[in-house]
Amino acid sequence: MRGTMVLFLFMIVFLSAVTTSFAATVTYDHRALVIDGKRKVLISGAIHYPRSTPQMWPDLIQKSKDGGLDAIETYVFWNLHEPVRGQYDFEGRKDLVSFIKLVKEAGLHVVLRIGPYVCAEWNYGGFPLWLHFIPGIEFRTDNEPFKVEMQRFTAKIVDLMKQESLFASQGGPIIFSQIENEYGNGDIEPYYGNRAKPYVDWAAGMATSLNTGVPWNMCQQKDAPDPIINTCNGFYCDQFTPNSDKKPKMWTENWTGWFLSFGGAVPTRPVEDVAFAVARFFQLGGTFQNYYMYHGGTNFGRTSGGPFIATSYDYDAPIDEYGLIRQPKWGHLKDLHKAIKLCEEAMIATDPTITSLGPNLEAGVYRTGSGLCSAFLANVGTQSDATVNFNGNSYKLPAWSVSILPDCKNVVFNTAKINSMRTLSRFISQSSEDVESFSGWSWVNEPVGISSQNAFMKLGLAEQINTTGDKSDYLWYSASIEIKGNEPFLQDGSQTALHVQSLGHALYAFINKKLAGSVKGSSGNAKVALEVPISLVTGKNTIDLLSLTVGLQNYGAFFDLKGAGVTGPVQLKGLTNGSTIDLSSQQWTYQIGLKGEEIGLSNGGSSLWISQPALPKNQPLIWYKTNFDAAGGNEPLALDLSSLGKGEAWVNGQSIGRYWPTNNAPNGGCVSSCNYRGSFNANKCLKDCGKPSQLLYHVPRDWLKPSGNILVLFEEMGGDPTQISFATRQIGSLCSRVSESHPVPIDIWTSDQEAAKKAGPTMLLECPSANQVISSIKFASFGTPGGACGSFSHGKCSSKNAISIIQKACVGSRKCNIGVSIATFGDPCVGITKNLAVEASCT
């Protein structure tokens, strides 16, 4: 009877657990967010749902959870959800509710940054373009029409979340929300004068009045009014303090890398520095930090901001653009998260006591009355390693590193000592047989100049964004000029120059329907000026200027008013006698967008496609189409578009984004190996100088069918589509370098403290996929090896038997552990701290 009763009670508890979720209260105090009465140390990471596909979401979320995240953060993208005023769209990649529910199913929290201004390298900072056309509107200031719209959208999102019971107060996963974004930055708020503060206060009050039941934040907003928490964004936030001792120290954007621009080099941020920044933050009293980005993803379609933000938004994040974990970044941060969690009880119980251990050496200690003690020991010097004395023990602290001691005694983690292995991987274009799976090409010429019924005329030159409303990247400006045989500037060989000035972002000029010249701006300076020699004929001459935007401005005071397009002057300059004809204020004919856009060529339909052997190549303004079968398997796919110029690509009607493989990074400014020691900035660790900023373009698997896929390209400048190829990622090598002074792998600490105290440093190698084994050891040295993964070399000191020991332990297995000690390898150089460096292959 008793047994039945217990079973019955158990059933009730079980059933209610699976059918309802319990509401949680989320509040905060000066230490932390408080969930159901308990302070929390929270590790969060940003994944922007529209920068991947619904098919990718579960795996991205699982990899985030496996990486030790407690929460997923995302912005909400207004222009995606309300493309037309009053018409909402939450389908497919825009399905915010499904994304949040998936995070909930994985057992993680959600941080929802509603904005609705988001910056985010997103087109127009997330604002819909129609907002700009509301009479009397001024963005992000104390302006009634703006506030009405901002409140309406914010409330719309909050209501949607409430309807779906997604706030923690309703049993959902959302524990924290953001209003506005970095408005308080020194290059933003001051420019809005005395209407800024009323706006900040209004936004705070408006958000609070929506009664979400969870706290709100404003990032980079020193004066955020109560109860809004002001939070920090940056590469480091350890020195940040909130504006009240009733608010916790929170870091909403820890930039794991940086964004890529077309025409820029590829930014990277070493994981030793990311880990250092995180550990310093928690050492000095922080309790919430969010990686921006944890998965960056892809700017599909025309979503990238700018100008000139590239299609890849990889960000050097722990999960790469394609959804694969990036090692050792992901793994080292995972170890860091475990180390921090071992300190959580002490951290939430008290404030840290900060003491100096010497120049550049600092201890942060969380010691409770009940005998808990966790410590973070930092060496913030950039040059020399140090030995410190702490609690009667001596600790070696490498320069620019933090050691974590969850029991104030044993070092379980040091930010500069990476136990996680590195993987060397690269995209390999598929062999030529596979390339032939593109079954023939057809094309349509995009007419030069005006071709649409919707063209219109206007006196003078028009600003582009006001004209197109961003319906398209393209705006044609067309004019004609009559040349009489006796014009003075035509004498002497009929050479004339066309001079065009434009606010950007790029321009093609056609004279008498032939390309005369082109020019592009850069992320630093979007403006362009074209000066090209042209040949005019006696009689009528046509001038067709194709002006284009490459992502609308997303940051800056009054970013919304930054114009684009040919605002003039447009002049014909005679080269012989210096005379000039100014065409700026004459009658121009305008066409918004391309003919091919108007008739919907991007999904491959239309009877206009020409398939003949003489495929035009390396000519401007051509639409191309082909069919292809998808390569088997489910590894991520990229299109290698190196043979093209600039344009946009669609797979089965879905835009994979703008492509621009001819836009190269400058030659200088990159480093071959990056020194993580010392303050990081976005230009510190650039790579691929002098090379195209982006050659590979992600084609999500869920946009593909097994066969009969349609690829459409619109090529602006000229290229050879027959040379493009698909590429898949191949893991080249696994590498690891672990020294005798490395901490024991953190997993031993988390599972068995006693075993961990006895264990020594250990190298772990593991093939990334379950069906692979370690097939060969390319390099192994125990001693003083030099070089980096892929180019290890033996040092003066090297154990003879390292390679055979590793071979025996690893070859044929998916994973292996090797003790990094003289017990395993013997001692090739007594008295010197030795490293084990290994490079292995998996097949």
Of 113-121, 202-210, 372-380, 808-816, the window that binds ligand GAL (rule: CB under 6 A) is 113-121
Answer yes or no: 182 catalytic: yes
Site for ligand GAL in 695-724 (CB under 6 A): none
Q: Which is nearer to ligand GAL, 263 or 743 (CB)?
A: 263
Who's near 570: CB < 8 A, 6+ residues apart?
A: 461, 477, 479, 498, 499, 500, 501, 543, 545, 582, 583, 584
Query: With respect to ligand GAL, which residue has the nearer C-beta, 117 or 366?
Result: 117
Residues 146-185 as x/- pattern, contact with ligand GAL by CB under 6 A: -----------------------------------xx---
User: Which phi and psi (to 5°) does residue 77 adopt?
Assistant: -105, 100
Q: Is 259 in the site for ligand GAL (CB under 6 A)?
A: yes
Residue reference for tokens 């012989």: 576
Nearest distance in Å: CB 51, ligand GAL:
12
CB of 678 to ligand GAL, least distance (A): 21
Stretch that binds ligand GAL, among 118-126, 283-291, 371-379, 620-628 (CB under 6 A): 118-126
Q: Provide the b/e sequence for 89-121 (b: ≥16 CB within 10 Å).
A: eeeebbbbebbbbbbbebebbbbbbbbbbbbbb
Q: How far apart are CA 553 and CA 146, in angstroms?
A: 18
Q: Least distance from C-beta 196 to ligand GAL, angstroms?
A: 17
**In the complex, what is the shortest distance from the CB of residue 471 to ligand GAL, in angstroms, rounded to a whole number?**
25
Choosing from 70, 121, 238, 272, the residue that interacts with ligand GAL (CB under 6 A) is 121
Helices H / strands E in the chain, number of each: 16, 43
From the list 121, 180, 189, 253, the catalytic residue is 253
Between residues 293 and 734, which has the closer beta carbon with respect to ligand GAL? Answer: 293
Given the rule CB under 6 A, which of 119-127, 171-179, 351-359, 524-532 is the region that contacts ligand GAL? 119-127
542 close to 512: Cβ distance less than 8 angstroms: yes
Minimum Å distance from CB 296 to ligand GAL? 9
DSSP H helical ranges for 460-519: 464-468
Of 233, 289, 478, 547, which one interacts with ligand GAL (CB under 6 A)?
A: 233
User: Does residue 321 touch ligand GAL according to CB under 6 A?
Assistant: no
The residue (of 121 and 473) whose beta carbon lies closer to ligand GAL is: 121
Task: Figure out which of the listed residues 26, 33, 103, 120 binds ligand GAL, where binding follows CB under 6 A.
Answer: 120
Site size with ligand GAL, rule: CB under 6 A: 9
Using an 8 Å Cβ cutoff, are 76 and 157 in contact? yes
* Binds ligand GAL by CB under 6 A, chosen from 119, 200, 490, 497: 119
How far apart CA 333 and CA 68 sit, in angstroms, is 8
**Residue 454: Cβ within 10 Å count:** 11
Q: Which is nearer to ligand GAL, 264 or 331 (CB)?
A: 264
238 alpha carbon, distance to own chain's centre: 23
In the complex with ligand GAL, which residue's Cβ is closer, 182 or 640?
A: 182
- Distance of closest approach, residue 3 Cβ to ligand GAL, in angstroms: 58
The amino acid sitting at 637 is L
700 token code pair: 């999500």
DSSP 159-187: HHHHHTT-BGGGTSSEEEEEES-STTSTT
Interaction with ligand GAL in 489-528: which residues (CB under 6 A)? Answer: none
Taking the C-alpha atoms of residue 212 and residue 24, their distance in angstroms, rounded to an integer, is 12
Q: Which is nearer to ligand GAL, 550 or 780 (CB)?
A: 550
Q: Given the complex with ligand GAL, which of 204 and 711 has the nearer CB atom?
A: 204
Q: Give me the least distance between CB of 124 and ligand GAL, in Å please.
A: 13
Q: At closest approach, how far in Å is the CB of 216 from ligand GAL? A: 16
C-alpha separations of 272 from 65, 253, 393, 467 in Å: 21, 17, 25, 48
**Residue 183 or 792: which CB sits closer to ligand GAL?**
183
Site pattern 577..616 for ligand GAL (x: CB under 6 A)? ----------------------------------------
In the three-class reduction of DSSP (H, G, I as helix; E, B as strand; rest coil), residue 348 is classed as: helix
User: Which residue has the CB atom at the shortest distance from ligand GAL?
Assistant: 119
Taking each helix axis from N to C end, the angle separating 96-105 and 57-66, rounded to the nearest 10 degrees, works out to 40
Would you say 221 or 501 has its CB closer to ligand GAL? Answer: 221
Nearer to ligand GAL, 75 or 703 (CB): 75
Q: With contact defined as beta carbons under 8 Å apart, do 349 and 372 qualify?
A: yes
By DSSP bridging, strand 835-842 and strand 438-445 are unpaired
What are 630's two structure tokens? 């998808």
Sequence letter at residue 589: T
Q: And the tokens for 456?
A: 């219109």
Q: Assign residue 92 a region: left if phi > 0, alpha if psi is -120 to 50, beta otherwise?
A: left
Please say if 433 is a catalytic residue. no
Dist. CA 704–CA 715, nearest whole Å: 22
Q: Which helix (H) or strand (E) holds 732?
A: strand 725-739
Q: Choose the stretch contacting ligand GAL; rule: CB under 6 A; options: 86-94, 112-120, 421-429, 595-603.
A: 112-120
Least distance to ligand GAL, CB of residue 166, Å: 22
Distance CA 27, CA 751 (A): 32
Contacts of 56 (CB under 8 A, 6+ apart): 323, 700, 702
Q: Is 32 helix (H, G, I), strand (E, B) or coil?
A: coil
CB of 61 to ligand GAL, least distance (A): 21
DSSP string, 568-612: S-EEEEETTT--EEE-TTSEEEEEES-HHHHTTGGGS-SS--B--
Largest separation between any pair of C-alpha atoms in the chain = 114
In the complex, the smallest distance separating the C-beta of residue 680 from ligand GAL, rounded to whole angstroms, is: 14
Least distance CB 264 / ligand GAL (angstroms): 13
Q: Which is nearer to ligand GAL, 52 or 233 (CB)?
A: 233
Hey, how many other C-beta atoms are within 10 angstroms of the C-beta on 757? 12
- Residue 596 and residue 656: Cα distance in Å, rounded? 17
Kindly state the smallest distance separating residue 186's Cβ from ligand GAL, in Å.
12
Residues 178-197 that bind ligand GAL (CB under 6 A): 181-182
Near ligand GAL by CB under 6 A, which window of 117-125, 130-138, 616-624, 781-789?
A: 117-125
Q: Which is nearer to ligand GAL, 170 or 290 (CB)?
A: 290
The one catalytic residue in 73, 82, 180, 182 is 182
- Interface with ligand GAL by CB under 6 A: which residues? 118-121, 181-182, 233, 253, 259
Q: Which residue numbers are catalytic?
A: 182, 253
